[in-house]
Structure 1
Amino acid sequence: MSAGLLIAAGASTVKVGQHAAAAPGMFGAVLALLGVLALIIGLGWLLKRMPGSGFRPAEGLRVVASLTVGAKERVVVVEVNGTQLLLGVTAGGINTLHQLPEPLPAPTPARLPDFKHLPNFAQLLQQRLRKEP
C-alpha cells in the first residue's frame, strides 16, 4: 500500500530548482489599472443616462433659500414654475406654510475680501492679548 502512495506522490513531485510561474509584469498592472478606470467611467456614464439617477436637476423646481430652525427642521423657499412657496420641512413630513405673492429678491453675491486693506495680524494679536477679561 505504501508503494502505491509513493508512485502517486512521485507523479506530482516538483523538481528542485524549478521556477514558479512569473507574476504579471508592469504591462499587466497598467492594463489592469486601465481596465478598472474604464469600468468606473463606463458605469458612471450609464448611471448618468438612467432615468431618476438624481444627477440632473428637476426642471421647473429650484430651492431659493433655506434656513435651519432645529436639529431636523428647516424652512425652505422653493420656486415651482415661477411660484415661490414657503415650506416647513421636518422629519415627519413637508408642509406648505405660505405662498409668496412676490418672489424673493436675488441674493447678493458674496464679496471677496480685499487683501490690500487687511489689518496686520501681529497688531490684532497684540491688542487681544493686552485686553483683560
Structure 2
Amino acid sequence: MRRPLATCLLLALPALAQAQAADAPAVSAAGSLLQVFVGLVAVLLLIAATAWVAKRFGIARGGSSSLLQVVGSASVGARERVVVVEVGESWLVVGVAPGSVNALTTLPKGTLQPPASPISGAPFAARLQQLVEKRREK
C-alpha cells in the first residue's frame, strides 16, 4: 500500500509545481531594466554629490602636504612645463617632462606679483571703447 501512495505523490509533484508557477507573478524585463537604470542614476548622483562636497569644503587629496606647494607653472612645449615649487623658505624651479623632473635653479622665497598687462588697469567697457575709437580713426 505504501508503494502506490508514493507513486501517486511522485506523479502529482509536477502538477503541484505547475500550479505554484501559475500563481507566481510574471517578472517583467522592462521593470528589471528600469530598476537597474534607477540604481545606476542613484550611484552616479551620489558620486557627483560627494565630489561637489569635497570641492566645496576643500577636502585635500591624499598625499598633499604643507611642506611642499606649487607656486606657479608655465608650459614651454607640448608636454614640458617649468614649475616653481615652494619648499620651506626657498623656491625651486624645476623642469617637468614625461618621465623626468630636473631642478633648474633655487631662488629665495619671494612674493607673487600679478603680471603687468596694458588692459589690467582699465575696465572692459573703457578698453573696448578705446579699441572702437582707434578703429574708426583708421
* TM value normalised by structure 2: 0.47
TM-score by length of 1: 0.49
Which has the larger Rg?
2
Q: Select the structure that is richer in helix.
A: 2
